Amino acid sequence: MPRRSTSQNVPKDLQARFDTISQLTDDFALAYLNDEYALLCRQLTATLARKRPSPLLQGKAPTWACGIIHALGMVNFLFDPSQTPHVPPSQIWEHLGLSSSTMQAKSKQIRDLLGMSQLDPDWTLPSRVEQNPLIWMLEINGLIVDVRYAPRAIQEEAFRRGLIPYVPDA
């Protein structure tokens, strides 16, 4: 947990591209979001850089930065005014000098490529792991259960296997 790599290592031929896109996402995160978003944006950028062939080789850096921020925002409900931080989608595309359709198309491309969806356990902000029900749902003997309410032995085994991020109340 998570099943994806949290590494920011990228192939040497993509390091400059990674740095350019990451600078754009870092600038946005510093201005409107937080350090968690900045780190997750870097990790998503690195994941895309390691894909073969890397999709980052095509298109402009601001378009990728915009799509990356939007894709992670979709997973983490960034556009819900009841959440903190919260920004409207327009703030992302305006900050990066793009259009709504460009941002949404790139975001969809990223989400489709990596199989991302709302509440995706792999791309949930660390501070939201506790509230994400998908992280805690496991199939046990054919039944879906919230492992937080399972016996301690089951929780420990799920943690040992890497199925949950930690043993609740440990």
Q: What are 108's two structure tokens?
A: 């969809």
How many angstroms separate the CA atoms of 44 and 95, rounded? Answer: 20
| CA-based nearest residue to 123, from 160, 78, 168 | 78
> pLDDT value at position 3?
64
Query: Tell me: the pLDDT tens digits for 65-114?
Result: 999 999 999 999 999 999 899 999 999 999 999 999 999 999 999 999 99
**Cα of 65 vs its chain's centroid, Å:** 13
CA angle 25, 100, 88 (to 5 degrees): 65
pLDDT over threshold 90, residue 131: no
Strand 143-146 to strand 137-140: parallel, antiparallel, or no bridges (unpaired)? antiparallel
State the DSSP code for 123. G
What residue ranges define each of the domains in the chain, with the CATH number in brackets? 12-121 (1.10.472.10), 129-160 (no CATH)
Structure pTM? 0.86
